[in-house]
Amino acid sequence: MTSPDIELIQKELSAIGISAEPFSAQKLKEQFTQLVRETSNPEGKIKLIRGFLQLSIMIDPDSIEGFLGIRIVEKKGDGTNQQDCFTYLFGPDADAQQITDSMVSTHEISQEPVPGSYVLYLNHDLNPKHIGNVTSKRTVISKWGLNGHVYEHPPILIPLSYGSHIAYFTPPKT
């Protein structure tokens, strides 16, 4: 993650009363839990949870194991270092924009998770930010960060920096 991304996240979190200091996963979890309880807007709750996930993977990626159904599938260092989510799924020459363009023209697009499909996360400009695979349980398996873990998670529960738009792409039947 780039420094401007971190600064933007810290600014957004500061605006809602979250302090990332001291950098303790437990302290952050307590702050976020309190804010989520106080928030009645469902979209606001999801944004808070995603902000918590963003900071947690930077501070202690193990700390979210079991949080809201999230589980670690592969730990960093298990052969996935220096791979982003696209490289993890498609190999060392993966190009996010090229993969996205190809999927748009060849795959069926839906707004619901279909087992075996890809889930693509896009930013507000509709540029690809993250990708994962939909499981038979309709959860997603995706790699979080260049040197991060691979997680199984509900489709909506991803770090804040991975965008706010979700599309599912089902490969063509052969």
- Can you name the CATH fold of 65-174? endopeptidase fold (from Nostoc punctiforme) (3.90.1720)
Two structure tokens written together for 14:
């500061």
Asked if 122 and 165 count as a contact pair (C-beta separation under 8 A), the reply is: yes
Q: What is the pLDDT of residues 150-167, one digit of tens each?
A: 999 999 999 999 998 999
pTM over 0.75: yes
Cβ-defined contacts of 35-41 (< 8 Å, 24+): none
Residue 91: left (phi > 0), alpha (psi -120 to 50), or beta?
left
Each residue's pLDDT tens digit, 58-88? 888 898 999 889 999 999 876 667 789 999 9
Residue 13 tokens read as 């979190």
Rounded to whole angstroms, the Cα distance separating 40 from 161 reads 23
Average pLDDT per block of 10 residues along the chain, 174 residues long: 56 64 68 83 89 85 91 83 88 92 94 95 92 97 91 96 94 82
